[in-house]
Amino acid sequence: MSETSDSFARCVEQSERAAWRLDDVMPAGTRLDFTSPFLPESLAKTASLEMLDARERKILNQITANAYLNAFSFVEEYIIATMMDHARAELFGDKDALRALTRVAEEEVKHQQLFERYRIAFEDGFGTTCRVLDNAAEVAGAILSKSPVAVMLVTFQLELTTQHHYVESARDDDTLDPFFVSLLKHHWIEESQHARVDALELEKQAAFAPNRALESGVDEYFEIVAELGATFARQAAMDVDSLATAIGRVLTDDERTRIEASRRLAYEDMFVRCGLTHPTFLALLGRLDESAPERAESLAKTLGGDPSCN
Amino acid sequence: MQLMDLVRDKLSRAFSGREAQRIIDETLEKIGLEAIRNPDDLLAFGTELTKHEGLLGVVGGSLRVQARVHGAAGD
């Protein structure tokens, strides 16, 4: 992706070619097949949990996959709001930008509807209840209280991660459930278009915003990243309870601690580190604040995780 | 593109070019500015326009959001 050669008109054109219909990807009433793992091991990170047998690791994989889609639905709540704001800023302005931004908002709503369909199918078929984050409005409010530069940076980062999740992790893994891989694919197809629109919006902000706003925006971006880490830690704790219920046995304190730590690592890696270390993200971050890429790389090292994200 | 051009273009799309210039001149005078040079000026300009009803108020609201997106600090 080359941000500088992109234009909103080109984004709209490519978005129209790439778009898909909700009913084509997941018709209402679709039933899930729980025979295979849903997420690739590089994302689910269950292999090191030797206290779990193969069936239990597969169940934890599926619990993590369910939480993964819920988390995207969760962050899409604030992304829709911010894209509507950016679109409103283009009323009577750049019509291509207005179309590109409203398309992003519309597609994000579609993704939420897709993930809601998936959530219902998962609940129907999994057999036990899996708790997931449910304070989307609260988190959206916290993120939207930050500066628009910070909000667009975290949006850009999150949307870039879908490339790693599908193209570099799931696409060629034939051990995974084909339906879940298809969900990752269709999500990535549209999110990769959204990331290009984010980049153009960030370039506009870089052109018009005073330096103090760019610098404070970058600082607030790092605050959001830290808050996301805390949010995913809550999900990790829920996953341990969901796993214990699903496998029907009591986990020792040591087992619970290790499983919870592995979930925190998985979510930090999927939602924070993969974007934080993405070369396209770092290049744009550096244009806003030249010292920021070094801060991002230092933060990424503290998260550990999968070096293949780079 | 400068912020002043952006405002002129937006008002010209919503109204005529001559009407846009009249709105700009009157509004700048009301808020005590000679031109829109930064996002804070844009926010003040947009806020003044939102005092009008109809399309002009809508354009003012859009300019206020644009000012915030581009880093306006004040209100």
Domain count, chain B: 1
Contacts of A261 (CB under 8 A, 6+ apart): A236
Angle at B62 between CA B58 and CA B65, to 5 degrees: 140
Band (A304; pLDDT cuts 50, 70, 90)? low
Q: Is residue B36 part of a domain?
A: yes
Task: Give the residue numbers spanning the domain of B44.
Answer: 3-69
Interatomic CA distance for residues A84 and A218, integer angstroms: 22
Q: Is residue B74 part of a domain?
A: no
Q: What are the pLDDT digits (tens) for A22-50?
A: 999 999 999 999 999 999 999 999 999 99
Q: Tell whether A253 is within 8 A of chain B (Cβ).
A: no
Angstroms from A110 CA to nearest CA on chain B: 25
Smallest Cβ–Cβ distance between B69 and the set A91, A148, A212 belongs to: A148
Q: Tell whether A145 is within 8 A of chain B (Cβ).
A: no
Smallest Cβ–Cβ distance between B39 and the set A85, A210, A217 belongs to: A210
| DSSP secondary structure string for all residues of A232-295 | HHHHHHHHHHHHHHHHTSPPPHHHHHHHHHHHHHHHIIIIIIHHHT-HHHHHHHHHH-TTHHHH
Q: Is residue B75 part of a domain?
A: no
Q: What are the pLDDT digits (tens) for A253-300?
A: 999 999 999 999 999 999 998 889 999 999 999 999 999 999 998 988
Q: What is the CATH number of domain A50-309?
A: 1.10.620
Phi, psi of A209 (to 5 degrees): -75, 145
Angstroms from A201 CA to nearest CA on chain B: 9
Band (B62; pLDDT cuts 50, 70, 90)? very high
Interatomic CA distance for residues A118 and A25, integer angstroms: 11
Q: Tell whether B60 is within 8 A of chain A (Cβ).
A: no
A27 by Cβ neighbours in 10 Å (0-12 / 13-18 / 19+) ranks as exposed
Tell me if B71 and A90 make a contact (CB, 8 A cut-off). no
Contacts of A179 (CB under 8 A, 6+ apart): A30, A32, A33
Look-up of token digits 């070619």: A17
Output the pLDDT for position A1: 37
Output the pLDDT for position A308: 55
Nearest CA in chain A to B14: A92
H or E element at residue A141: helix A136-144
Q: Is residue B54 part of a domain?
A: yes
Tell me if A205 and B69 make a contact (CB, 8 A cut-off). yes
| DSSP secondary structure string for all residues of A64-110 | HHHHHHHHHHHHHHHHHHHHHHHHHHTTTS-HHHHHHHHHHHHHHHH
Measured torsion, CA atoms of residues A34, A36, A38, A42, in degrees rounded to the nearest 10: 150
For chain A, give every domain's residue range. Answer: 50-309
Q: Tell whether B23 is within 8 A of chain A (Cβ).
A: no
Tell me if B3 and A208 make a contact (CB, 8 A cut-off). yes
Tell me if B62 and A86 make a contact (CB, 8 A cut-off). no
Interatomic CA distance for residues A236 and A266, integer angstroms: 9
Find how far residue A194's CA is from the centre of its chain.
12
Angstroms from B29 CA to nearest CA on chain A: 23
pTM (global) more than 0.80: yes
Angstroms from B64 CA to nearest CA on chain A: 8
Q: Measuring CA to CA, how many Å separate A114 from each of A109, A117, A187? A: 9, 5, 10
Look-up of token digits 């939207």: A144
Contacts of A87 (CB under 8 A, 6+ apart): A98, A101, A102, A105
Q: Which residues of A touch B69 (CB under 8 A)?
A: 85-86, 89, 148, 201, 204-205
Output the pLDDT for position A175: 96
Smallest Cβ–Cβ distance between A209 and the set B6, B9, B70 belongs to: B70
Q: Tell whether A92 is within 8 A of chain B (Cβ).
A: yes
Q: Which two tokens stand for residue A58?
A: 């597969």
Q: How many CB pairs under 8 A join A and B?
A: 59
State the complex-level ipTM.
Answer: 0.92
Interatomic CA distance for residues A65 and A45, integer angstroms: 11
Selected residue of B19, B49, B63, B70 to mutate for chain A interface (largest A Cβ count, 10 A): B70
Output the pLDDT for position A17: 95
Q: Tell whether B68 is within 8 A of chain A (Cβ).
A: yes
Angstroms from B7 CA to nearest CA on chain A: 9
Q: Is residue B59 part of a domain?
A: yes
Band (A6; pLDDT cuts 50, 70, 90)? low
pLDDT(A3) > 50: no
Q: Which two tokens stand for residue B14?
A: 């919503």
Q: Measuring CA to CA, how many Å separate A258 from each of A46, A251, A272? A: 11, 11, 20
pLDDT(A310) > 70: no
SS (H, E, C) chain B: CCHHHHHHHHHHHHCCHHHHHHHHHHHHHHHCCCCCCCHHHHHHHHHHHCCCCHHHHHHHHHHHHHHHHCCCCCC
Nearest CA in chain A to B64: A89
